[in-house]
Amino acid sequence: MASSYRVCAVFSAFKRVVSGGPGLSAPPALDICAPRLWKSVRCFVSARDISTKLCKIARTFDLGTEQQMAGDRSIGCVVLAHFRACLELARRPELADQPGLIVVRSGSRPLVADRLPAAAAIKPGMTLEQALALEPRAMVLEADEPHYERGFERLLDRLGEVSDRVEGSELGIAYVGLDGLAQMHGGEGPLHEALLAAIPAAFGPRVGVGPNPFSAFVAARTRRSPGLSKIEGDPARFLAPHTIGLLPLPSDLLEELGMLGLQRLGDVAAQEPDALLDRFGREGRRAWELASGIDECLLRPRAPDERVSETISLPSGANSLELLRVAVDTLVARVFAQSRMQGRYAGTATLTCQLEDAPDWTKAFHFRRPVGDWRRAAAIIKARLETEHPRAAVEAMTITLTDLSGATGAQLSLFPDQRADRERRLLETERGLQARFGGKQALHRLVEAAAWHPAPELRTLQVPIDPAARSGMRPVTAPASVEVREDPGERPSAVRIGGEWRAVSRIENRWCFELWWRPAPIQRSYYRVSAEDGRRLTLYRDGEDQQWYRQSA
C-alpha cells in the first residue's frame, strides 16, 4: 500500500511537470526522455520497483526528493552513546575516574557491552580477555540489564511528552515522529529544542532529524558532540560520504560490499539496484534503498501501558526465603490496596529485587487468568519463589502490576470468609487509632521471618496492618549503638546507660558467629552481662566496624 502511494505521488509529480502546472516547468531533456521513461517502467513488475526507478530519474532531472513529491515526513532519532555506562555512573559516581567494563555473560563467552569513560581503548563487542589485555586494571561490572531497561523506559516516557509516536528501537536508540507537531510547539525550532531537552544532559544525547528513520539515525550517529543535526535537502546527498558500516545489515554482507570497493553509502547508491539484488538478494536491494535515502519503515509507537507499582525496604542482610515470603505478602497487599486497583484485575506482576553488591534480580509472573485478589497473587508469586529466588541479600523489593483490566466474572462463595472479615475489622480499628494519634501506625503484625538466623533482628519482623502504610518492615529487636569500656581482653567492663556509666558485675554468657560468605560479611561477639544496678543487658561487638551495640530483648 505504501509503495503504491509512492508510485501515484511520483507519477503525479511527473504529470504536473510535463503539463506545466502552477510554478513548474519541464526540463528540456524530459520531452526527449519521456518515451524511454515509460518504456523502462514497463520492465518492472512491482510498485516498489516502479517507484524506485522514478525517484532515481526524478533526482537526475532535479525534480526534488521523494519526500517533496510524496509528502514530507519528519523523524527524530535519539542516540545515547554509552547508555549503560551513564546509568552505572549515576548510581556509583565514585567510578567516574576509574577504568571499568560492563560485561554480559549470556553467551558462551563474556562480552563487553559498554565501558566507562576512563577505559577509552575498549570497544563494545570485545571479549573480556581482549579487553583486560588492553586495560589490565579495569574494574569488571556485571551488566544489570533490568536496571538499564527501566532507565530506558523512563527516558522514552520523557520523549512521549514531546510526541505521541515514540519507538524504542534498542537500548540507547529511540525514534520520535515529529511531523505535524511544529505548530503545537510554536515552530520547528522550539520543537527541536523540546526534543533535545527531554533527555538529561548527563547522557550526552545526539539527535538527528530527517525524512526517514535511517537518515535520521545517520545524522545522530555521526555527530561529534551532543546536540541536534537536521538534514536539509536530498537525504541521499547527505548520506553519500558516510561509511557503509552504518547500514543495519549483516556483517558478512557489509564485508562483501567492502571487498567490492563499496566503502561509502554513495558508492552503494551509485550501483544499479538490480545488480545488487541479483548478487545479494533482498538484503542487497535494501542496502541500495537505504544508501539512496529511501526508507519506508514506519514507526511502531509504544502502546500505552498503565502500571501500578510499590516498593518496600528490607532489613539489612535479608537473604532468607522466609523473609522474602513475608515481603511479598506485604508488598502485594499494599499494591492492591491502591485506589487505582480498586475493582480491577492484573494480568502480569513483575518482581524486582535490589541486591547487595549484585545486579538487580527481576522476574515476571504472568497469570493464567487476571487476578484481583492480593492473596491469590501473593500465593502464585511465593510458589514460584520456592525454586527461583535471588541468591544474594535483598535491600529493597518492587512489584509492578501491568495488563490491567476491569472486573471479570467471579464465582461467589456460599460461606462467609471469616479471615477477610477479621482483617477488615482490624483495619477499621487501626484507622480509628491513626485518626486519634495523628496518623501514626498503631497496630502491627509480628511475622516470624527466619527463626534460625543468628542475628536476632532478622528473626521476627513487625509489619503494619494497614496495607496503605508507607513504612516498611522493621525488626522487633533492632540493635542500638552504645558506649562500652573494655578490659584488656576486649570484654565489656562498663556500659553507659542513661548518661551514666555502669560497671559490669558479671558476664553470664558469651557466644559469637561469623557469616563470612555474604557480600557484606557479619561478624559479632555477644555478651550477656549483669550491670552493677542489677540490669541484664545483651551487648555485642561488631567485628566489621569495631563498634559496640546493645541488642534489645
| Structural domain ending residue among the three candidates 291, 323, 357 | 291
Whether residue 432 is found in the same domain as residue 312: yes
Cell, residue 230: 537536521
* Position 446 pLDDT exceeds 60: yes
**Is 297 within a domain?**
no
**Is 58 within a domain?**
yes
**Is 381 within a domain?**
yes
Alpha helix (H) residue ranges in 416-479: 418-436
**Is 65 within a domain?**
yes
Whether residue 267 is found in the same domain as residue 378: no
Backbone angles phi, psi at 287, to 5 degrees: -60, -40
* Position 503 pLDDT exceeds 80: yes
Which CATH number characterizes residue 382's domain? 3.30.1490.100
The confidence band for 318, taking pLDDT boundaries of 50, 70 and 90, is low
| Structural domain ending residue among the three candidates 39, 70, 101 | 70
Which CATH number characterizes residue 282's domain? 1.10.150.20
Whether residue 429 is found in the same domain as residue 359: yes
* Position 174 pLDDT exceeds 90: yes
**Is 76 within a domain?**
no
Cβ atoms of residues 508 and 530 within 8 Å: yes
State how far the alpha carbon of 459 is from the alpha carbons of 211, 259, 269, in Å: 63, 68, 70
Cβ atoms of residues 331 and 195 within 8 Å: no
| pLDDT of the residue at 305 | 73
State how far the alpha carbon of 263 is from the alpha carbons of 220, 246, 247, 269, 291, in Å: 20, 11, 11, 11, 11
Whether residue 314 is found in the same domain as residue 286: no
Whether residue 359 is found in the same domain as residue 398: yes
Whether residue 278 is found in the same domain as residue 339: no
| Structural domain ending residue among the three candidates 53, 70, 87 | 70
Whether residue 423 is found in the same domain as residue 491: no
Cβ atoms of residues 541 and 525 within 8 Å: yes
| Total tally of structural domains belonging to the chain | 4
Average pLDDT over residues 189-200: 93
* Position 16 pLDDT exceeds 60: no
**Is 105 within a domain?**
no
Sheet holding 173-177, edge to edge: 166-170, 173-177, 75-79, 206-210, 227-230
**Is 263 within a domain?**
yes
Cα 401 to Cα 522: distance, rounded to the nearest angstrom: 35
* Position 470 pLDDT exceeds 50: yes
Identify the residue with better confidence: 238 or 150. 238
Cα 315 to Cα 458: distance, rounded to the nearest angstrom: 7
Whether residue 312 is found in the same domain as residue 432: yes
Q: Which residues of 218-233 are buried (b: 16+ CB within 10 A; e: fewer)?
A: bbbbbbeebebbebee
Whether residue 283 is found in the same domain as residue 321: no
Whether residue 318 is found in the same domain as residue 279: no
State how far the alpha carbon of 407 is from the alpha carbons of 98, 338, 404, 420, in Å: 53, 16, 10, 20
Whether residue 347 is found in the same domain as residue 429: yes
**Is 317 within a domain?**
yes
Per DSSP, the three-state class of 357 is: coil
| pLDDT of the residue at 291 | 94
Lowest mean pLDDT among 179-193, 200-214, 355-369, 443-457: 443-457
Whether residue 338 is found in the same domain as residue 423: yes
**Percent of the chain, pLDDT > 90?**
39
Average pLDDT over residues 133-147: 89
Q: Which residue range is the domain that position 277 belongs to?
A: 238-291
Predicted confidence (pLDDT) per residue in 328-347, tens digit: 988 998 899 888 888 889 99
